[in-house]
Amino acid sequence: MEIVYCKCGCGQEVEEDNIYVHGHNRRGLPSNTVPDGKWSQHYDKCIECGTVEISYGGKGLCTRCYKKHLYKTFETRKRWAPEHDHCIDCGRVNRPHASHGRCVTCDGNYRAHMKGIQKRNFGAWSWYYDKCVKCGTTERSHASNGLCCDCYEESKRVGKVLEKCPVCGVNVEKLTQHLTMRAKKCKEHSNYLQGMYKVYFESDLGLYDIAEKLNTTRHTVTKQFRRLFGVEETKQRNAAVKSLLCSSRAKIGFNYNNKFGTVTYYDSLNNGRVRFRSRLECTYATYLDKSGIKWEYERDSFPYLDIKGKRRTYTPDFYLADTDEYIEIKGYDNGESNYKIDKMREIGLTIKILRQGDF
């Protein structure tokens, strides 16, 4: 009786009516199972060098000979790959194409990455690059996209206005941030930072103006003032500037529902240059000056709970010291404003509402 072997190539004896023992090859697909005692499924040794110690690579060649075959075939090609001009990962063209637009090294790294194995580039400068693609250095570590740390930071600043540090001469995007970070370890940067903030602390500029000049936020300015000059001193300084509103860019919460909500400046004889939230307030301030009445603009703020129970702050427009009363200027009726004024009257404040035509 003739012996029948499994056609998957495993070499196992099977019955004549069941030639596919494993059941995975019923459609006649080729199997990668290597029979016992054979180097590969179809070859007993490498057809190029005759070795059996190196594993099978492809086309009857061991992995070493198969790699040489790829490079030899690659040199005769007119294009790097049928659909790609270079490797989509590393951009090289001096390595043969493997699959899916990747060279042999990047394809191996990609396959290893899919298996959860960290990809390597055989001891090169980075996984995909032998040196920085811009400056060519290998001394500085790789940051991203084939660039070293210095070149990568420089690439992020393209198109941005840079400032030169007066202490160390480095071009930076935000000088204040650079000085703050360097001041932690450098005495020269610390002294320069303190002197810079001292100039603004002694000026009559508002926090928003200072933040704009230093390319930072008003919260950062306040934090530095408190750290360098004290909490109480900072509080007194900010309160004095706010009461006078000497800043040309004082923060004004513009109300788009206010028909008279156009920001206006007025040079008062007693209070200096004042910025009002509306033309109607400026008109009333002019009336007070002509009448010889002493006034202060937005001097005090009072907390209260709004209709929804949230904590709010209300600041009357004018305070008249002679009569000890507050004046609120309104261009039209507003139920929410009336609610706030009623809350202030409940705590004993004297508030008077004036509208256009009352003065």
Query: Where does a domain end: 50, 76, 102?
Result: 76
pLDDT digits (tens, 9 = 90+) for 250-285: 444 444 344 444 567 788 877 788 888 788 888 888
Instruction: Examine residue 94 and state whether it is found in any structural domain, yes or no.
Output: no
- Tell me, yes or no, whether 234 and 294 share the same domain: no
- In angstroms, the CA 314 to CA 303 distance is 6
In whole angstroms, what is the distance from residue 274 CA to residue 290 CA?
A: 16
pTM above 0.85, yes or no: no
Lowest average pLDDT, out of 157-166, 252-261, 302-311, 317-326, goes to: 252-261
Residues contacting 19, CB < 8 A, separation 6+? 4, 6, 7
Domain check: are 169 and 240 in the same one? yes
348 shares a domain with 275:
yes
Does residue 279 contact residue 298 with C-beta atoms inside 8 Å?
A: no
Q: Is residue 132 part of a domain?
A: no
Query: Same domain for 240 and 176?
Result: yes
Write out the two tokens for 15: 């019955």
Residue 259 inside a domain? The answer is no
Is a pLDDT exceeding 50 seen at residue 216? yes
Separation of CA 21 from chain center:
60
Same domain (yes/no): 350, 280: yes
Same domain, 346 and 309: yes
Of the candidates 58, 76, 94, which is a domain's last residue? 76
Domain C-terminal end among 191, 213, 244: 244
Q: What is the DSSP string of 36-76?
A: TT-SSSS-SS-TTT--SSSPEEETTEEHHHHHHHHHHHHHT
The pLDDT value given to residue 230 = 92
With a cut of 70, say whether residue 30 has pLDDT above it: no
pLDDT at 24 over 50: no
Q: Are residues 202 and 232 in the same domain?
A: yes
In a domain, 223, yes or no: yes
Q: Where are the beta strands (DSSP E) in the chain?
A: 4-5, 13-14, 56-58, 61-62, 97-99, 102-103, 142-144, 147-148, 163-164, 171-172, 264-268, 272-276, 295-297, 302-305, 311-314, 318-320, 325-329, 351-354
Structural domain contains residue 84 = no
Do residues 287 and 319 both lie within one domain? yes
Q: Are residues 10 and 46 in the same domain?
A: no
- The span from the CA of 98 to the CA of 94, in Å, is 12
The length of the chain in residues reads 359
- The closest alpha carbon to 331, from 299, 296, 358, belongs to 358
The pair of three-digit structure tokens given for residue 125, joined into one six-digit string: 């400068």
Task: Please report the pLDDT score of residue 17 as a whole number.
Answer: 56
pLDDT of residue 73: 72
> Which of 106-115, 173-182, 254-263 comes out lowest in average pLDDT?
254-263
Q: Is residue 256 part of a domain?
A: no
> Is residue 81, in this structure, part of any structural domain at all?
no
Which of 49-53, 157-161, 204-208, 355-359 tops mean pLDDT?
A: 49-53
* Mean of pLDDT over the chain: 77
Structural domain boundaries enclosing 66: 40-76
Work out how many domains the chain is built from and give that number: 4
Does 168 share its domain with 235?
yes
Domain contains 196: yes
60 in the same domain as 13? no
Same domain for 26 and 52, yes or no, is: no
